Amino acid sequence: MSDDIRPSIGLRPVINVSGTMTSLGASIVVPEAIAAMSAILPQFVEINDLQRRASAVIARLTDGEAGFITASCSSGISLAVAGAITDDNLLAIEKLPDVTPEKNEVIVQTGHVVSYGAPVDQAIRLGGGKVVLIGQATSTHRFHMENAINEKTAAAVYVVSHHVVDYGLLHLTEFVEIAHAKGVPVIVDAASEYDLKLFLAQGADIVLYSGHKFLGGPTSGIVAGKKELVRHAFLQNMGIGRGMKVGKESIYGVMAALEAWEKRDHAGIRERETSYLNLWKKTLDGRPGVTALIEPDPTDNPLDRMRVIVTPAEAHITAWDLAAALARGNPPVIVRDHEVEHNHFYLDPCNLHPGQEMVVAQRLTEELDKARASNEIIATPIEERSRHRFDSLLRWPD
């Protein structure tokens, strides 16, 4: 008998080769976190004391001075920005976000204003920040940032993501240098990053991570960095942070996930994921109109993905129609399709249960064979995909 509860509650048993995506449930939670959450759920605890214990674990794993757990990395952005604006002024904390101190401007490179499911700049505004964009989408220079900082500047936010523009912008170390020269703290959104120490080591004052992505913890965010700034962010739980709170199970679950991270066989996991990629490459190599390339992660996380490039004239299907067919099938296979209009998508091997790599290979074969057997090229206009992207959401819950 299967232990998969999804069919019993009317959910599709999707296979995730998209990555650590919130819309798919983020990641497979590690056994240590599941056990910790189960152990603490029946008990009462003093939440602030539990967060103190979490702070010690976060500090050890990140080389920061302090840390705490919040609802998500997005929450962490809002709380860190709010803390930079209010310091420890409890009245100001209560009045956010409508009434803010005069020092409330937050600098962001234009090429970093991306969406992770919601806009980065919205998270800043929720914390009372007035967003000041510097540079252009593909070009930010020192003079842009140096001239944007003034007596109203509360913080500067730097985003590390595969979504940001990856050329022509200021590197974090230069961003930090310019900010610190004028006494401005730097907040780094590193939601999907693997290295828990790099960004603080490069000079960031606060770094924000997702607890539920590579770490394999429950849905949560981790705020880490300098003690005073972390404290000011933590105090926002008396204000805007109230709606971003986490329960005892999430705090303790993330603590367990962090401690498991120290003991994880990272090399063994990479070896297993590489075997999946090699299987998929063998499956796709030689197929008309399909090129399979194994590529490194764009933000230097220590993992590879497979880029599947589709030439419709030969494969008889577009990349976006192939992605849609995989998602519709049985079982549904959800690929990483954020660049699909460029005739490719990605297969991410990091969130598979044993044996699912074979199912992915089988589903790729099925859909590509079906397309090749078609007398006409399966080619839905890409504009139709854009036009109908939110149809299902707008009908929710129907």
Residue 161 DSSP class? S
* pLDDT band with cut points at 50, 70 and 90 for residue 2: low
DSSP secondary structure string, 273-333? HHHHHHHHHHHHTT-TTEEEEEEE-TT--S-EEEEEEE-HHHHSB-HHHHHHHHHHSSS-E
In the predicted structure, residue 33 carries a pLDDT above the cut 70: yes
Q: Which of 221, 236, 263 is the C-terminal boundary of a domain?
A: 263
Say if residue 49 is in the same domain as residue 183.
yes
Helix (H) or strand (E) holding 154: strand 153-159
355 lies in some domain: yes
What CATH number should be reported for the domain holding residue 296?
A: 3.90.1150.180
In terms of C-beta distances under 8 Å and separation of at least 24 residues, what long-range contacts does 260-268 make, across chains too? 260/30, 260/32, 260/33, 260/216, 261/61, 261/196, 261/215, 262/61, 266/302
What does the pLDDT average to over 121-129?
A: 95
For residues 65-73, average pLDDT: 96
pLDDT value for 24: 80
- Domain contains 282: yes
What CATH number corresponds to the domain at position 123? 3.40.640.10
* Same domain, yes or no: 360 and 298: yes
Question: How far apart, in whole angstroms, are the C-alpha atoms of residue 229 and residue 185?
Answer: 9
- Determine the Cα–Cα distance for residues 28 and 38; give it in Å rounded to an integer: 16
Is the residue at 327 inside a domain?
yes
Tens-digit pLDDT profile for residues 143-195: 999 999 999 999 999 999 888 888 999 999 999 999 999 999 999 999 888 89
pLDDT attached to residue 1:
42
Same domain, 359 and 211: no
Question: Residue 192 and residue 4: Cα distance in Å, rounded?
Answer: 27
> pTM (2 decimals)?
0.92
How far CA 135 is from CA of 4, 18, 138, in Å, comes to 49, 31, 8
Q: Residue 320's domain spans which residues?
A: 266-393
DSSP annotation of 19: -
Domain final position from 230, 248, 263: 263
> 352: which residues sit within 8 A by CB, 6+ positions away?
15, 16, 17, 276, 360
Question: Alpha carbon of 50 to those of 35, 113, 114, 224, 292: distances in Å?
Answer: 17, 34, 33, 16, 47
Q: Considering the chain, what percentage of its residues have pLDDT values greater than 70?
A: 99
What strands lie across the sheet with 186-189, from one edge to the other? 66-70, 221-225, 206-210, 186-189, 153-159, 105-109, 130-134
Q: Do 338 and 8 touch, CB atoms closer than 8 A?
A: no
On whether residue 366 sits in a domain, the answer given is yes
Query: Which two three-digit tokens encode residue 125?
Result: 């505004």
Q: Please report the sign of the dihedral spanned by the C-alpha atoms of residue 77, residue 78, residue 81, residue 86.
A: negative
Asked if 62 and 120 sit in the same domain, the reply is: yes
Query: What is the per-residue pLDDT for 37?
Result: 96
* Average pLDDT, integer, range 306-328: 95
**What's the DSSP call for residue 206?**
E
Do 222 and 291 share a domain, yes or no? no
User: Do 139 and 252 lie in a common domain?
Assistant: yes
**Residue 212 identity:** H
Residue pLDDT, tens place only, 243-262: 999 999 999 999 999 999 98
Same domain, 279 and 207: no
* Domain end residue (candidates: 212, 229, 263): 263
Residue with tokens 């990479």: 270
Task: Check pLDDT > 80 for residue 269.
Answer: yes
Q: Within a domain: residue 38?
A: yes
Please state the domain count of the chain.
2
